[in-house]
Amino acid sequence: MKFSSKEDVEVPIARVFGILSEFEAFERSAIRRGAEIQRLGDHVAPHVGQAWEVTFDLRGKQRRAHVELTVYEAPHTMVFESVAGGMNAVTAVDLVALSPGRTRISVVFEVKPTTLGARLLVQSMKLAKSNLTKRFKLRVAEYARDIEDRHARMA
């Protein structure tokens, strides 16, 4: 199952990539939402191979996920691969400079089940695909506005 969204922001591509590379902010956001995050290794700068173990509640059950940064090509692409509960997920973030001060953010999230239980979950998700797609696009749009706000505060 695949979800995708595109948003344009009035921020230079290098700054957008810099904001997206601030993984500590994502970690704090997940912790505020009730997740437990453990960064694997001692990494100062983002790089391929950087990984996290994440524990979170989903549908009343505690789940564990391993998330790894597999592609990091500044200032254009980041790809994260996740393994959790019989599912593999890939999140790709691509940036395109539309002009010196404008950037298009493309986010693609794809889930692939690897077990029978996970296949059943994905089938139930397909029934709600339009609602899930709307929520995904809304989340990406909110984050794009947040990037513009953060850039404006730092300018």
* Sequence spans of domains, the chain: 2-154
pLDDT digits (tens, 9 = 90+) for 39-92: 998 777 899 999 999 999 877 889 999 999 999 999 999 999 999 989 999 999
The CA distance from 83 to 111, in Å, is 10
pLDDT digits (tens, 9 = 90+) for 143-153: 999 999 999 99
Query: What is the architecture, at CATH level 2, of domain 2-154?
Result: 2-Layer Sandwich (3.30)
pTM: 0.92
pLDDT digits (tens, 9 = 90+) for 114-154: 999 899 989 999 999 999 999 999 999 999 999 999 999 98
Tell me, what's the pLDDT at 38?
Answer: 94
Task: Look over the chain and give the mean of its residue pLDDT values, rounded to a whole number.
Answer: 94
Tell me, what's the pLDDT at 133?
Answer: 97
Query: Is residue 99 packed enough to be buried (19+ CB in 10 Å), middle (13-18) or exposed (0-12)?
Result: exposed
CB 104 within 8 A of CB 96: yes
